[in-house]
Amino acid sequence: MADALPGAVEAVLLDLDGTLITTADAMRVGGRAAFRAVWPELDDKRAAAAGERFRRDPEAWFGRYAAGDVDFVTMRRERLGEVVRWLGLQWDPARYESFEAAYEPAFTGALRVFDDVLPGVERWRAAGLPVGILTNSSRTYTTAKLGASGLASVSEVVVTTDDLGIGKPDPRVFHHACGELGSTPEHTAYVGDELAADAIGSRDAGLVSHWLLRSGELPDGAPVPADVRLVTSLDEVLAGAPEEVGAADLGTRRGDR
């Protein structure tokens, strides 16, 4: 069980992809289906490999999007083009829309919510803690994912890359999300599954950082960064430290949010 938290926690801020929903698995399903639909000459094995490469994004186009260097459509188009060229196929940008049309229903249909999400949110809300989501995805895409997974009403606040034109790990987006929640960074617990964007990013922004590793296995044996709490389930966030949850005056401080 995690150690007691330093200071009173008055809000919980959550990553979305890989933390609340099974985005990676859904991307594999969506990618395989879309590559087979748009490039029918691919057999299932090559289509699955293409879907996995699209998810992995070896040229880091998603990182460029989160940094504000490219827009969402450019990121997706370039990401797709890289995989098509890797397959040895002729890249035709006109096929982007066909890919997206085939990808989206397969992707959203495969999204699942992790079992610990709804009980965790219920527990935090019962303690008087507002719950927010901070994601590096776009507003439109985030709304679609939340709707498809049944999580549209799971949080009071949803902050996306569209809000400031940048994403995690920039400290400004963490601070903006805390402001939307009505909390201060040092009294906000943050939970996410990525080391740099989530764990280190939230720590460096002054939040109470939780690195969610559902497998319990550290990547490449890497140590847990200083001042980051390693958890393997949302059940462990704030668990065993009820005296540290300082929400008694939260209703007055937050007004009618």
CATH number of the domain bearing residue 48: 1.10.150
Same domain for 60 and 175, yes or no, is no
Same domain for 95 and 122, yes or no, is no
> Per-residue pLDDT tens for 6-59?
458 999 999 999 999 999 999 999 999 999 999 999 999 999 999 999 999 999
Same domain for 103 and 16, yes or no, is no
Q: What is the DSSP letter of 222?
A: P
Confidence of residue 235 (pLDDT cuts 50, 70, 90): very high
Same domain for 87 and 173, yes or no, is no
- Predicted pLDDT of residue 248: 30
Instruction: Tell whether omega for the bond before 169 is within 30 degrees of 0, i.e. cis.
Output: yes
Confidence of residue 63 (pLDDT cuts 50, 70, 90): very high
Confidence of residue 245 (pLDDT cuts 50, 70, 90): very low
Q: Are 224 and 198 in contact (CB under 8 A)?
A: no
Q: Of the candidates 63, 88, 110, which is a domain's last residue? A: 110
Is residue 153 a part of any domain in this protein? yes
User: Quick check: helix, strand or coil at residue 120?
Assistant: helix
Is residue 83 a part of any domain in this protein? yes
Q: In DSSP terms, which residues pair with 13 in a beta bridge?
A: 132, 190
Same domain for 117 and 209, yes or no, is yes
Domain count, the chain: 2
> Per-residue pLDDT tens for 129-160?
999 999 999 999 999 999 999 999 999 999 99
Same domain for 33 and 127, yes or no, is no
Same domain for 116 and 237, yes or no, is yes
Q: Of the candidates 79, 110, 141, which is a domain's last residue? A: 110
Q: Give the mean pLDDT of 108-117.
A: 97
- Predicted pLDDT of residue 157: 97
- Closest alpha carbon to 19 in 106, 136, 187: 136
Same domain for 46 and 15, yes or no, is no
User: Quick check: helix, strand or coil at residue 105?
Assistant: helix
Same domain for 210 and 235, yes or no, is yes
Which stretches of the chain are DSSP H helices?
23-38, 44-56, 61-66, 72-86, 96-110, 117-126, 139-149, 161-164, 171-181, 201-204, 250-254
- Predicted pLDDT of residue 7: 52
Q: Quote the domain boundaries for residue 182.
A: 11-22+112-254
Is residue 181 a part of any domain in this protein? yes
Q: Are 100 and 76 in contact (CB under 8 A)?
A: yes
Is residue 3 a part of any domain in this protein? no
- Predicted pLDDT of residue 221: 72
User: Quick check: helix, strand or coil at residue 57?
Assistant: coil
Same domain for 55 and 133, yes or no, is no
Q: Of the candidates 88, 110, 132, which is a domain's last residue? A: 110
- Predicted pLDDT of residue 240: 53
- Predicted pLDDT of residue 233: 97
Same domain for 93 and 120, yes or no, is no
